[in-house]
Amino acid sequence: MALILFDFDGVLADTLRDMIEFAQEVCDELGVDHAVTPDDLNSLEVMSFAEYGRRLGVPEHLVDEFVGLILKRFIEKKTPPDIFDGLDQVVRMLSTNHIIAIITGNRSQTVNNFLTAHGLDGNVCAIFGVDSPGSKPEKIASARSQFAKNGENVYMVGDSSSDIRAAKEASIKSIAVSWGHQSAERLICAEPDYLVHSPMELLESITKFEDQSLRR
């Protein structure tokens, strides 16, 4: 049994359109003159809403307001974002033998609404959102102390170079997914342990590594 930690935006939830639309609305509201594009996310060194705002030219004294306004829009959105095709089935399959948790810069309520809408609320043991204390590596450490006390393998599944760096800092395996907010080329430069291009490939990679671990 392994502990599998998923990022949320761009990994489980297809939120690219929301991220761009909400950011543009908030920039306009705050008087920030910037046309938001997908490259603004792809170019981030740290995938967080605060760094996103800074990338868009939000003045430092307005960054917290920018973050709050975007998170508010996610909470108030009438319908949750789509889940990437086939990923709901993969999460269910993984949860039969492993522990699933989510570490995200979004709010836990947003994640809970998403999981409930897609019938996955019973497959995820914990959510470490922006409303939980600590950096991403610290949240990884907290999840490991709760769910992998006996030295089980721990994986971080993310779509950004900062997810990969957080996994390395926490001394766990990193799995980068190419369907998220940052390009495969950018992810490769961060040197993940695995780079996968489909939910089924994600399942196969974890299954293969776990099988190898059992043979040792």
Residue-wise pLDDT tens digits, 162-173: 999 999 999 999
- 7 and 21 both lie in a single domain: no
CATH of the domain at 187: 3.40.50.1000
> How many angstroms separate the CA atoms of 16 and 135, rounded?
23
Average pLDDT value for residue range 106-115: 96
DSSP letters of 85-101?
TTHHHHHHHHHTTSEEE
> How many angstroms separate the CA atoms of 174 and 72, rounded?
30
Beta pairing partners, 100: 4
Q: What pLDDT, on the 0 to 100 scale, is given for residue 211?
A: 81
- 199 and 92 both lie in a single domain: yes
Q: What pLDDT, on the 0 to 100 scale, is given for residue 31?
A: 98
Structural domain including 65 reads: 16-76
Q: What pLDDT, on the 0 to 100 scale, is given for residue 42?
A: 96
- 147 and 124 both lie in a single domain: yes
- 116 and 167 both lie in a single domain: yes
**Domain end marker among 41, 58, 76:** 76
| pLDDT (tens digit per residue) in 140-154 | 999 999 999 888 999
> How many angstroms separate the CA atoms of 11 and 158, rounded?
6
Average pLDDT value for residue range 112-128: 97
What average pLDDT is seen over the chain?
Answer: 95
Angle between helices 63-76 and 16-30 (to 10 degrees): 130
**Domain end marker among 76, 97, 117:** 76
pTM equals 0.94
Q: What pLDDT, on the 0 to 100 scale, is given for residue 215?
A: 66
For residue 158, count CB atoms less than 10 angstroms from its CB and return exposed for 0-12, middle for 13-18, buried for 19 or more.
Answer: buried
Residue 6 CA: distances (Å) to CA of 68, 87, 127, 139, 140 = 23, 12, 9, 12, 10
Angle between helices 136-147 and 161-169 (to 10 degrees): 50
Range with the lowest mean pLDDT among 68-72, 94-98, 116-120, 210-214? 210-214
- % the chain with pLDDT above 70: 99
Q: Phi, psi (5° rounding) for residue 72?
A: -60, -40
Average pLDDT value for residue range 66-88: 96
- % the chain with pLDDT above 90: 94
Q: What pLDDT, on the 0 to 100 scale, is given for residue 216?
A: 64
Q: What pLDDT, on the 0 to 100 scale, is given for residue 212?
A: 76
Q: Looking up tokens 């971080």, which residue turns up?
A: 156
| pLDDT (tens digit per residue) in 172-200 | 999 999 999 999 999 999 999 999 999 99
Q: Looking up tokens 């950011």, which residue turns up?
A: 23
Average pLDDT value for residue range 63-67: 98
Structural domain count, the chain: 2
